[in-house]
Each structure stands twice: as structure tokens, then as C-alpha cells.
Amino acid sequence: MQQVSIKKNIELLKKLSLDMYEKDFLLTWEKSFDEVQATILVAEALKEMHRTNISTRIFDSGLGISIFKDNSTRTKFSFASAVNALGLAVQDFDEKKSQIAHGETVRETANMVSFTADVIGIRDDMYLGEGDRYQREVSEAVQYGYDKGILHQRPTLVNLQSDIDHPTQSMSDLAKLKDYFGGFENLKGKKIAMTWAYSPSYGKPLSVPQGVIGLMSRFGMDVTLAYPEGYDLIPEVVEVAKKNAAASGGKFEIVHSMDEAFKDAHVVYPKSWAPYWVMQKRTDLLRSGDHKGLEELEKQALANNAKHTDWECTEENMKLTQNGAALYQHCLPADITGLSCKQGEVVRSVFDRYIPDTYHQASFKPFVIMAMILLGKVSNPAQKLEELITKGIKRQY
């Protein structure tokens, strides 16, 4: 683990061209290369401030609203930790206990909950064509309220996972890679294998692998996407990765063999996801309320998965990686063979060996979210970090 110099990060931050103030963070590829780097630099600085007992409060009061339409542990607690560390209270919004059932619109709801809100975090990842659309609808609604003078401040929206991207996860992955290899510049030419892996469940979102290929391809990495035939991702996101790789001088390819993807890889990321076509059909069935159709789709999807139980991260294919010692990454929780399931994404011996690395990878997420919020709420982030350091208020007395 690299020792972070807060002052060095601030000086690097000053050299970057940013347009993030009063802006949302929805997709990493909508942010400039400077803005992606800035988010990591700020996250590292905030993480080091927390480690050295310096308060990171930039708010005296206010609200951070969390909207989770899917279950979550790491992201939910990371968001709560982030808004609290910045000085905000967190409030979960439960649609089942709101007036939405009585016909309240998204525009109305977004404004009614935002009178003292500074940030809204949304996780809506299960249905293709819904999550990103919903987040943008909320964004437009609070912009309307702010423009009309109803809201005193425009809440910054943070994508805590959509159907398209999982930026707080992929940015945490990037922060770990930067730390592991010793800098952004050392990522160029490194091979990362983003591979499908077997799971005994079928409905895992596409946003994690899409987030990884959409982000790591911007840093000149050799990004290899691997999956069995038929387990495609959203085509538009794959095109984003291809364009990013071409622009960064990196490489992007798709293969249909886990062993081929692992060969000479510096980083491996074996993670299950549902095929694009399955998620499309699943969304249509959910919209129509076809429960019998959903049951049949699940049976079909699980039967297809069962044909590929050999797509498992084992000691044998780890030996194919660069010097047999590639970094193993996972967003967690992993399906661990012999522990959390009979057969899954990774054998226990590999997973256990990399527990410190996967936990360290996850530890960046609260600070990545803090950085996204700070950059959206502060017009001069370098100056604000300097102010916090100069004050030196202890977080814990």
C-alpha cells in the first residue's frame, strides 16, 4: 500500500481542468480524463485525512438522501459513511412508505425530499433501460426546482449503480490499481482480464463488468473481456471501451476462454453477470407482470449457466497469469466454491489469499463517494482541502 502525500495530491489537483461543480456523477465516460483523475486524487487525500484523524467536514448541516432499489451492503454503508464524514445526515428514501403509490411523480418527489438536501445517491440496477433513465429524471427534476428558486442548492446526484455503470465501484477498483502499481502512469500496458464466471444465480447486473471495461480502457491498459458465447454486454458500452482503448493507446479485445483471458494478465476480475438478452427479456416480463414467464426465464438462464461451470477462477488458471501472481479483484460478495456455494466464481484458496487486497479495494469506496460529492459541491476543491488541512480539526477527540 502506497503512502499518500495529501499536499502532493493537492498540487496535482491544481493542474487539472475541471468542470464538476454543481454537476452529477452518473457515468465515468461522461467525465473528462482530468475529472476521473481528480476524483481519485481527492479520494486518496480524504482517505489519508481520515487515517491521520483530520476532520473532513465541509458541511455544518444538510441531508444526503439514499435511494436503493436493490439490496446492498458495501455501497449502502459507503454512501452513509461518506455523507456523514462530510457533515451531512443520511436519510433512506423508501418508496413503499412514500406517496408514490398514490400517484406522486418523480419530479414532485425529488423536490419534496430535497429542500435541505445536498446530495442524492441512487442505486437502480436491476432493469435494463430503467436505472440510468430514472437517475436522469431525478437530476432534471432537482435542476428544475433549483432554477425556479424552490431549492436553495442543487443536490448533486451520485450513481450508486445503474443498469449501465457502477462508477463508485469501478473508481474504487481504479484507486486500488493506482495504489497497487504505484501511479496512473504505471497502468499503461498492464493486462486486466474482466471475465464472466459461473454462479448458481442468474440475475446479476451488467454494470460492474461494463464499468470496468469503460474505465480501465482509458488508462492505456490491455483490457480483455471474456465470456461464454451468448453472455454479451450492452453493445453501446462495448463500443465505448473500444473507442477509449484506441484513444489511450491501450488494447481492447473479446475472447471466449477464461484461460486465454488469464494468460499473462496482471489483474484478473472473474465476476458473473446475466446475458444482455436475458436482462432485456427479464425487464419486459417484469413490466408486463408475467410471473410465470419470469420463472421460465430463470430456469432457462440457470440451465445455461450450468453449461459453464468450468468458468471458475482456480489455482490452475491463476498460474497462467503474469508470473503466476496477478492481482485478483472482485466487487464482493463473491460466490466462493465450498464456502458460500457448492460451486461458484472462485475457489476458496484463491479468494482467501487475496482477502487483504479485496478488502483494501472495497475500502476506497466511501472516499470515492466523498470525492464525487465534494467535487460536485465545491467550486475550488484544492483550496477546500488546503483549508481542512490548515484547520487541522481532529475528527476524534
Homologous superfamily of the 6-165+365-391 domain (CATH): Aspartate/ornithine carbamoyltransferase (3.40.50.1370)
pLDDT of residue 103: 53
Residues 374/58, Cβ–Cβ less than 8 Å: yes
pLDDT of residue 100: 56
DSSP string, 7-33: HHHHHHHHTS----TT--B--GGGS-H
- Span 309-320, pLDDT tens digits: 999 999 999 999
- Span 70-118, pLDDT tens digits: 888 999 999 999 999 999 999 999 776 555 544 578 999 999 999 999 9
What is the rounded distance in angstroms from the CA atom of residue 96 to the CA atom of residue 186?
47
- Span 322-348, pLDDT tens digits: 999 999 999 999 999 999 999 999 999
Residues 194/225, Cβ–Cβ less than 8 Å: yes
* Residue ranges of domains in the chain: 6-165+365-391, 176-361
Residue indicated by cell numbers 466523498: 370
pLDDT of residue 102: 46
Residues 173/208, Cβ–Cβ less than 8 Å: no
Q: Where are the alpha helices (DSSP H) in the chain?
A: 6-14, 33-51, 74-85, 106-112, 131-147, 167-181, 207-216, 235-248, 258-262, 276-288, 291-306, 315-318, 348-353, 355-363, 365-377, 381-391
DSSP string, 179-230: HHHTSGGGGTT-EEEEE----S-----SHHHHHHHHHHGGGT-EEEEE--TT
Share of the chain above pLDDT 70, in %: 97
Q: Calculate mean pLDDT across residues 136-153.
A: 97
Residues 159/167, Cβ–Cβ less than 8 Å: yes
Give strand pairing partners of 193. Answer: 224, 268
Work out the widest C-alpha separation in the chain, in whole angstroms.
62
Q: Which grid coordinates are listed for 359? A: 478488502
What is the rounded distance in angstroms from the CA atom of residue 261 to the CA atom of residue 253?
9
Q: Dihedral sign, CA of 348, 350, 353, 357?
A: negative
Burial (0-12, 13-18, 19+ Cβ within 10 Å), 283: middle
Q: Which grid coordinates are listed for 308? A: 459453464
pLDDT of residue 287: 87
User: pTM of the full predicted structure?
Assistant: 0.96
What is the rounded distance in angstroms from the CA atom of residue 313 to the CA atom of residue 318?
7
The reply to whether 6-165+365-391 and 176-361 are identical in fold is yes
pLDDT of residue 164: 98
Beta 222-226 vs 117-124: how paired, if at all?
A: unpaired
Share of the chain above pLDDT 90, in %: 92
- Span 149-197, pLDDT tens digits: 999 999 999 999 999 999 999 999 999 999 999 999 999 999 999 999 9
On whether the 176-361 domain is CATH 3.40.50.1370, my answer is: yes
Residues 171/368, Cβ–Cβ less than 8 Å: yes
**Torsion from C-alpha of 82, 68, 143, 60, nearest 10 degrees:** -30
Q: Is a pLDDT exceeding 60 seen at residue 307?
A: yes
- Span 241-289, pLDDT tens digits: 999 999 999 999 999 999 999 999 999 999 999 999 999 999 999 889 9
pLDDT of residue 105: 87
Residues 4/175, Cβ–Cβ less than 8 Å: no
